[in-house]
Structure 1
Amino acid sequence: MAHPLRIVAVSGGLQRPSKAAALAEHLLDLIADELPCEQRLVELGPLAPQLAGAVWRSQLPDAVERELAVVEQADVLVVATPVYRGAYTGLFKHFFDFIHQDALVDKPVLLAATGGSERHALVIDHQLRPLFSFFQARTLPLGVYATDQDFTNHRLQSEALIARARLAVQRALPLIALARHTKPLQAEDVVLA
Structure 2
Amino acid sequence: MNAKMTLPLRVVAVSGGLQRPSKSAALAEHLLDLIAEEVLCEPRLVEVGQLAPQLAGAVWRSQLPDTVERELAAVEQADVLVVATPVFRGSYTGLFKHFFDFIDQDALIDKPVLLAATGGSERHALMIDHQLRPLFSFFQARTLPLGVYATDKDFVDYRLQNGALIQRARLAVQRALPLVELTRHTRSANVEEVVAA
For this structure pair, what is the TM-score category when the shorter chain's length is used for normalisation? over 0.9
| Aligned partner letter, 1:50 | Q
Q: Find out whether 1:62 has 2:59 as its counterpart.
A: no
Partners of 2:44 and 2:57 lie apart in 1 by 26
Q: Find out whether 1:122 has 2:126 as its counterpart.
A: yes
Deviant stretches of 4+, over 3 Å: none
Deviation at 1:179, TM superposition (A): 2.4
Deviation at 1:175, TM superposition (A): 1.1
Partner residue in 2 for 1:108: 112
- CA deviations 1:6-44 (Å, max 9, x no partner) are 000000001111000000000000000000110000001
TM-score, L = length of structure 2: 0.91
Partners of 2:9 and 2:62 lie apart in 1 by 29
Partners of 2:49 and 2:146 lie apart in 1 by 26
List aligned pairs for 1:163-182, cutoff 5 A.
163-182=167-186
Partner residue in 1 for 2:136: 132
TM-score, L = length of structure 1: 0.93
| Aligned partner letter, 1:111 | L
Paired residue secondary structure (2:13): strand
Partners of 2:62 and 2:133 lie apart in 1 by 27
Aligned-residue Cα RMSD (Å) equals 0.9
- CA deviations 1:49-75 (Å, max 9, x no partner) are 100111100010110000000000000
Partner residue in 2 for 1:157: 161
- Which stretches in structure 2 are left out of the alignment for 5+ residues? 188-197
Q: How many residues align?
A: 183
Partner residue in 1 for 2:50: 46
Q: Which structure's residues are more often helix, by fraction?
A: 2
Contact 1:106 1:179 in 2 (8 A): no
- Which stretches in structure 1 are left out of the alignment for 5+ residues? 184-193
